[in-house]
């Protein structure tokens, strides 16, 4: 089981995608592993940032003038709570063939199991070219 709370085989699907250079160019094939989140897992993912923000805001409460920083901290916690609660699917990983150098590469799709939304800007591990991961246009 990984840190998104999903076993690699259960609830995870492989999605065929297309890989392109940023300034239109040749295409490459890519594949992403996407996990479906249960309502319980979504609730847990949503409550963690808000809980951490509330704890930090409470810790700053007795400090003169610094207690005012608690308000934007709670705002950031609410933003991340809403973002995590809306995500029904998250990226587990992505890989593909770079259209520029034709090497097999692992693609960066975000920290901490980012919500599955396309297109995603990424880059090739080998040549460093800017790439866009998007739905296939067959």
Contacts of 23 (CB under 8 A, 6+ apart): none
Q: Is the pTM of this model over 0.85?
A: no
Q: What is the pLDDT of residues 56-107, one digit of tens each?
A: 999 999 999 888 999 999 999 999 999 888 888 888 888 888 888 888 888 8
pLDDT at 127 over 50: yes
10 Å Cβ neighbour count for 104?
11
pLDDT above 50: residue 35: yes
pLDDT above 70 (res 1): no
Q: What is the pLDDT of residue 52?
A: 95
Q: Are 87 and 61 in contact (CB under 8 A)?
A: no
Task: Kindly state the average pLDDT of the residues 31-45.
Answer: 89
Q: Is the pLDDT of residue 9 over 60?
A: no
Determine the longest span between alpha carbons in the chain, in angstroms: 61
pLDDT at 51: 95
pLDDT in the model for residue 10? 55
Per-residue HEC secondary structure of the chain comes to CCCCCCCCCCCEEEEEEEEEECCCCCEEEEEEEEEECCHHHHHHHHHHHHHHHHHHHHHHCCCCCHHHHHHHHHHHHHHHHHHHHHCCEEEEEEEEECCCCCCEEECCCCCCCCECCCCEEEECCCCCCEEEEEECCC
Q: Say what the pLDDT of residue 48 is.
A: 93
Q: What is the pLDDT of residue 117?
A: 84
């Amino acid at each position: 089981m990984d840190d998104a709370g999903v076993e690699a085989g259960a609830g995870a699907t492989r999605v065929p995608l297309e890989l392109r250079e940023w300034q239109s160019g040749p295409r490459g094939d890519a594949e992403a592993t996407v996990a479906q989140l249960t309502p319980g897992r979504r609730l847990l993912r949503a409550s963690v940032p808000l809980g951490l923000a509330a704890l930090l805001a409470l810790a700053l409460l007795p400090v003169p003038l610094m207690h005012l920083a608690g308000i934007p901290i709670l705002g950031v916690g609410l933003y991340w709570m809403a973002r995590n609660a809306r995500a029904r699917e998250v990226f587990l990983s992505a890989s593909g063939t770079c259209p520029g150098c034709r090497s097999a590469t692992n693609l960066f799709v975000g920290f901490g199991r980012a919500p599955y939304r396309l297109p995603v800007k990424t880059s090739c591990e080998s040549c460093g070219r800017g790439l866009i991961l998007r739905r296939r246009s067959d």
